[in-house]
Amino acid sequence: MTPQELETGYYYAYEQFYNWSSILRRCRYGEPGFAQRVFLNLAYKRVEPLYGLLGRPVRVGWLRPLFNWYTRSFPGPRSRAAQQRLLRATTRGKPNM
């Protein structure tokens, strides 16, 4: 595979992943948390191209409130455990932010 073929395939997959029908299908309309999943998908779709302008990755600590809001949106006993796993994953090996 040439670098050009790889790049072409990447952009094709990106467009397929972020087209409206794919977003709505993976957000599972009618299930709890649908609005949050749509919001996060659309937010990433709009913000991701800006990362290239920053020249460096966004610090995860800044995104923690968004992740906490997202995990709280799901009902049931999983939500607290999911929140704790997410908090551990976002702070592993990182200083407090």
- Model confidence at 97: pLDDT above 50: no
| 69-75 contacts, C-beta under 8 A, 24 or more apart | 69/36, 70/36, 70/40, 73/32, 73/33, 73/35, 73/36, 74/32, 74/33, 75/32
pLDDT band at 26 (very low <50, low <70, confident <90, very high): confident
- pLDDT value of residue 91: 64
pLDDT at residue 80, rounded to an integer: 65
Digit-coded pLDDT (tens) for 6-18:
999 988 988 888 8
Return the DSSP state at 59.
Answer: P
C-alpha dihedral (42, 48, 53, 55), degrees to nearest 10: 150
Q: For residue 83, give the nearest of 94, 93, 65, 71 by alpha carbon.
A: 71
pLDDT tens-digit readout, 43-96: 777 666 666 665 555 565 666 676 666 666 555 555 566 667 766 766 665 555
Token pair belonging to 51: 């990362």
